Structure 1
């Protein structure tokens, strides 16, 4: 597997990427405008107008970006008088980032290109309490595998339309269990060790109806895999509290043995790639803030209800972590004095009340409790909107959006409520921990 290293000359990847242009602040401004312009592209004159740079400076920067393979010319716009303007685009396939979501019971890994488009995704069961060594090994395996998945598909041409391979029961890297349950699936293949051209989909012990199919583009040539994509780094997101600057978890609720483990540094050593660590909720909020079309000065709260309850805060367009990554511990606000004990050591926390309602199957009550906490947050921060996410919300998004919206309205607040559209919002946001600095974010 190809590895990357970071040095004084920029980011170098043994698969062939060498991106010294990324060191420049002005280049980051230009790259971000290319990113937000998307396929429509943007002219050099527009870049100069929006960055405040001189046309000469923009020409030098864009020439360097083109030489590095990060930008390309994409035709001309019709003239409105004078010389037609050449349109420039970002080259999304110039490099990639991996995002890893370490949940308490599941690991999700995604590979995204520089435009943030998901290219490959894997999910596998995980016991966060199994110990650091077991978790590190699982991360190594899945990071390598998600890159191999993309290589087999051909990262430059195939985009996965939300498809994912569920690994079902955890299996050894490169081995397929339950061969009697394996079905042929045309162009779908099992990666770990790259399978033969008629590759397979493993359903294993997972019922076919529950397994998510791994559908690939019609033009895939499985017999001629592409090289493994060049990866700039790996972003890791996990439950808090944690210190994103030191790269170490805190006393994770339910798993206090993670406190002080040098997760970032150990994974950097094992993977041979730059690694960034942040809370799951912060990562998801960052990904949403960088989504095309998101207002530059947006202020919102991302509320994540899954194995726990937390929030990520974006204020004035910037992710708000707090000095110690402590901001957004939404689930541990006390809403019922002398209420039931919470895993954090407190009593009557929003999280324990909300999860208890979920465990009873009382979705309306869970939404009402969540909405009560959301109303407190809106009053405190005067945010523009609330976004809900996490597997519990994804199981019944209409009920949660409606219930939280009703609670806000009942409190005299007209704040809009929506649900995150991607089931991999945390992992995709984790990849943005690597990409965002490239675009000056």
Structure 2
């Protein structure tokens, strides 16, 4: 079962937390007491994150105070609210350290649910994740993103979400995160000239999904959602291979989106100006060369050249490969990219780079999208 690990769920929320803080900053001046409310919610999120990180073993109120830096009185009030909301439960007593054994608290994973969606070019992935970031149900449905256009795709999404939530109380659903091909404006929730899919140009995806489903919605570029699905280095990339190439980036522990929230167009770095024309209009893009490769090994080696460029440009120490193409031939891609990295880095023994395949497999991008929603609880 794929999952966001306890420590990762907090890490996977960093981009959504940035968006949430932006919204809070925009509205706090107009709402009396908003800053106090935001502080209270932040403290509750910090405590809940510590409870989740403790796992099944549980954590005491004393340990929560120590880990959060909050007073015992503040912890008592926050824990009481979390108990009343059903998000945590008392789960027995810890070992005695000379005094009265302390009551332990654990997360209640099925107290809330988050939906994660990936809009692929020929497949729709919809999954439901619990508070622990575990995928409890996942489905992959065939679509034609370019040919169908928004209406039929959203109709199918609504039908699948209805199936996912048939046995779930609506008030337990935190919302839905949607990952899509770019370019897109993540802050405005609008797609921009999706390569090869003109029907989606300027489509207000976030608002359309929220209106259709009656749920709070977030959107994210598929590659950025992918990097949020994996616990890892503060300087890492998620390379997404699925009909195209994209990169999700975390640098210095922060998700990188760029000036227009459109960073990560990894496949459109030009490697051969005299090469084949790319769908984006340029010639010799990595994506066009990769798609024209004669064999999987050749495609993997071309990818390795692009990855090596990225590693040297940004000084990354971790790269995760994900998407359907990798899921179909993980060993081919891992071996070829590793070989190119070792050949291209001036001092590979010093510039060590972890290279792995996404542990969530085909669900990685949708799981990262669900992580955006879980960020509303965990901050």
Asked whether 1:318 is paired with 2:335, we answer no
Residues in 2 aligned to 1:408 and 1:41: alpha-carbon distance in whole angstroms: 42
- Deviation, 1:227, is 5.6
Aligned to 1:333: 269
Say which is worse superposed, 311-320 or 419-428, in terms of deviation.
311-320
Whole-Å separation in 2 of the counterparts to 1:100 and 1:143: 9
- State the distance in 2 between where 1:229 and 1:128 align: 31
Between the aligned partners of 2:77 and 2:129, the Cα distance in structure 1 is 28
Greater helix percent: which structure?
Answer: 2
Distance change in 2, residues 1:22/1:284 (3 Å):
farther
Aligned position for 1:439: 378
Q: Which whole-Å CA distance do the structure 1 matches of 2:100 and 2:310 have between them? A: 52
Per the alignment, residue 139 of structure 2 pairs with: 122
Q: Could you say which structure has the greater relative contact order, defined with CA pairs below 8 angstroms and 6 or more residues apart? A: 2
Could you tell me how far apart the structure 1 residues matched to 2:54 and 2:38 are?
Answer: 19
The yes-or-no answer on 1:410 pairing with 2:343 is: yes
Deviation at 1:85, TM superposition (A): 2.2
> Structure 1 residues 320 and 437 mapped into 2: Cα distance closer, same or farther (>3 Å)?
farther
Give the whole-Å Cα distance in 2 for the aligned partners of 1:35 and 1:244.
28
Unaligned runs of 5+ in 2: 1-23, 25-36
* SS of residue paired to 2:249: strand
Task: Give distance in 2, aligned partners of 1:241 and 1:33.
Answer: 36
1:145 pairs, out of 157, 160, 163, with 163
Partner Cα distance (1:74, 1:322) in 2 = 44
Name 1:37's counterpart in structure 2: 54
TM-score where L is the length of structure 2 = 0.85
Is residue 405–residue 416 contact of structure 1 (8 Å, CA) maintained in 2? no
Question: Which of 404, 419, 425 matches 2:357?
Answer: 419
CA RMSD of aligned residues (A): 1.9
- TM-score w.r.t. the length of structure 1 is 0.73
**Separation (CA, whole Å) in 2 of partners of 1:52 and 1:332:** 46
**How far off its partner does 1:83 sit?**
2.7
Whole-Å separation in 2 of the counterparts to 1:323 and 1:48? 38
1:163-178 correspondence runs (5 A):
none
Misfit runs of 4+, over 4 Å: 20-23, 226-229
Q: 1:45 Cα deviation (Å)?
A: 1.6
- Alpha carbons 1:243, 1:325 under 8 Å: kept: yes
Q: How many residues align?
A: 337
SS in 1 for 2:325: helix
- Which residue does 1:61 correspond to in 2? 78
CA distance in 2, matches of 1:432, 1:119: 14
